[in-house]
Homo-oligomer: A and B are copies of this chain.
Amino acid sequence: MSSISGLVEDEISSFFESSPPLKNKEEIVANLNQFIELNSSCQGGMRRIVCVTSGGTTVPLEQRCVRYIDNFSSGNRGAASTENFVKAGYAVIFLYRRGTCQPYCRYLPDDPFLECFEFPDAKNIQVHGSHSGAVKMAVMDQQAAVAEGRLLKLPFSTIYEYLQMLRLIATILKDVGPCSMFYLAAAVSDFYVPWLSMTEHKIESGSGPLDIRLAQVPKMLSILRSNWAPKAFCISFKLETDSKILLEKATKALQKYKVHAVVANELLTRKEEVVVVSSSGNVVVRRDSNKPESIVEDNLIRLLVDRHSTYIKESLT
């Protein structure tokens, strides 16, 4: 693999140097190490480990943050994919935006404490019949995945937290080699206000319009591939609202960042179909429309797990 340019590397270093440091870094590292150790000593050898990123990152506009730029993402894709990876035998590091959709919780109503439960007396809680499947899944399946060491949940909010955590995970996963995967479904900010050039206090709304100049976030995918975890199987996502430019941009991303596949999806149809763009060609993956409970992630994860198996075999020979 060709090394990335010195310019990009400088940009990335200066991004990290100027970032506010992670608050609970030691705890995250300890949890990650424990999780990887547990999954390295399974019966039958190493379990495959995937890092699923999910939800949007925020970009603060003020150091004492009142306003920020956010990227739309419900986190549904990441949550559903996590469930499918666990089902396929993977251990999942779920790096998610606080407050977004959680694995096994996709069928809960918006306001679960108002709608799902009742107390027939002050001692006993009951689940309303119509929500019993959703609540069981959210409680039993989720707790089982965590208890069995198959799911580690790590929350972020800002672009600074996200990228520092991704770097931590990637460098800790380095030794797992080809058995590790990155499934980068998070909606990562393209633009940000560099921390040091940011105003400390709330921007005043005195009079007239407000002009904001945003810098480009350095693209970390290249360095993830070349330095952080070069042997991991790496899937990135490309979301566009304009179908005309989607495949072209996905193909460019594939070449530029040298990931193993780019999942291209359009905002309006993203729950019906995606296109997996890779060096072996484009594959359209659709939801199974004959089954109402089917989701596009069922077929997408099946395809990617197959590709990952091939990748592992090829790495060993």
Contacts and interface: CB of A to CB of B under 8 A. Distances in A.
Interface of A: 58, 61-62, 64-72, 98-99, 102, 104-105, 108, 110-114, 117-119, 122, 125-127, 135-136, 138-140, 142-143, 146, 153, 155, 187, 189-191, 200-202, 205, 207-216, 239-242, 267-268
A237 to B, nearest CB: 13
B113 A267 contact: no
A99 to B, nearest CB: 5
A70 B58 contact: yes
Copies in the complex: 2
Nearest to A125: B127
Question: Interface on chain A toward B: helix, strand, loop, or mixed SS?
Answer: mixed
Nearest to A241: B64
Nearest to A138: B113
B140 A122 contact: yes
A211 B212 contact: yes
Given A113-B139, A114-B143, A117-B139, A67 B70 contact: yes
Contacts of A190: 205
Given A209-B214, A210-B213, A105 B99 contact: no
A113 B105 contact: yes
B108 A66 contact: no
Given A66-B241, A68-B69, A216-B209, A139 B118 contact: yes
A212 B104 CA distance: 38
Given A201-B242, A216-B205, A216-B209, A64 B138 contact: no
Contacts of A61: 69
Contacts of A207: 216
Contacts of A127: 125
Most buried by B among A146, A240, A268: A240
Most buried by B among A64, A114, A210, A268: A114
A117 B124 CA distance: 12
A241 B64 CA distance: 7
A240 B202 contact: yes
Closest 9 CB pairs of A and B: A190-B205, A113-B138, A64-B241, A210-B214, A201-B242, A117-B139, A70-B70, A212-B212, A201-B241
Contacts of A105: 113
14 contacts: A64-B268, A65-B72, A68-B70, A69-B69, A102-B114, A110-B155, A111-B153, A112-B113, A113-B138, A114-B142, A117-B139, A125-B126, A191-B209, A210-B214
A241 B209 CA distance: 21
A212 B62 CA distance: 16
Given A69-B61, A70-B69, A136-B122, A214 B212 contact: yes
A297 to B, nearest CB: 20
B102 A99 contact: no
Contacts of A153: 111, 114
Nearest to A62: B241
Contacts of A241: 62, 64, 66, 200-202
